[in-house]
Amino acid sequence: MKKLIASVIGATSIFGLSIASEEGYISHEQRHAFQKRAEISVDYWVVIPNGWFSFNGKKYDLKRDFRLKNAKDFGGKIIYDGIEQGWMNIIFTYTPIEFEGEGEATSPFSIKTFNVATGEKYEVKYDFDNYDLGLLWDIGHLKEKTEDRLDIRAGFSGRFVDGTLELKAENGTEYKEDYQKLIPMLDIEAEVEVLPVHQNLTAEIILEYQGYIYNGEYMHDFIDSLRINYIRGFIEGGYRIIKYKLKKDDIKTKTSGEGFFLSLGVMF
């Protein structure tokens, strides 16, 4: 599933870049007159793990106990804003996170069917994939009124979380737990053009937030970035933080993933 989504986004991006290269020079006036309908980007994110898992009240730290290393994953985003003359946007985002770790137990510990003695080696794999589908509205038609210099969008999205925690010891014991849930998220995004560098070259600051709080669980997703647009292509770099607290039966987790990311994309 991951490879299929990444392949589709990547192939579409290459197709879009070929179209963008054929467009040639577009003046500042033409750029604002251009009615964008879609935007496709591919992201590369280095994610630092933090937090813990709790089994029957006993906590295990992601770094100290599970020895998880930084994840390095490719994701993507597709935006269609051709609804109601661009006042409504449909957004699909794919964010995979795959942590892996291996270590040697400094003291005995066990989690249900998994157990290790002092000195025994073990491996841990923690996948946390996010699939978002959102609907956002342009607040006050600011994008149109400010000639694309300011845009604030707000709406809702559904995030499907597909998580798996897997532990394997060299002694043959292992444990695996799956977690799937559809989470409703509040979604707010703001874009501010900060520098019209050239007729075809602009820069903007982008801030995004998605949030969910209910029944002792929460998920917060923050993004701040700088984006540079050239004709119909763009490059974006920034920092992203996902914080969440989720539970399933006697298992609880309070963790976060954060780090710098880089995106490349095209507009149609």
The one-letter amino acid code at 256 reads: S
What domains appear along the chain, each with residue ranges and CATH number?
Answer: 2-267 (2.40.128.100)
- pLDDT, mean of residues 95-113: 93
pLDDT at 37: 81
> With 80 as the cut, is the pLDDT of residue 114 above it?
yes
Q: What is the pLDDT of residues 130-172, one digit of tens each?
A: 999 999 998 888 877 887 789 899 999 999 999 999 999 999 9
Q: How much is the pTM?
A: 0.84
- pLDDT, mean of residues 127-131: 96
- pLDDT, mean of residues 236-244: 98
pLDDT at 142: 83
> With 60 as the cut, is the pLDDT of residue 238 above it?
yes
> With 50 as the cut, is the pLDDT of residue 10 above it?
no
Q: What is the pLDDT of residues 32-86, one digit of tens each?
A: 444 668 999 999 999 999 999 999 889 999 999 999 999 999 999 999 987 876 6
Q: What is the pLDDT of residues 166-223, one digit of tens each?
A: 999 999 999 999 999 999 999 999 999 987 766 788 899 999 999 999 999 999 999 9
pLDDT at 143: 77
Phi-psi category of residue 20: left, alpha or beta, with phi > 0 → left and psi -120 to 50 → alpha: alpha
Q: What is the pLDDT of residues 11-45, one digit of tens each?
A: 444 444 444 444 444 444 444 444 668 999 999 99
> With 60 as the cut, is the pLDDT of residue 4 above it?
no
69 vs 87, which has greater pLDDT? 69
The one-letter amino acid code at 260 reads: F
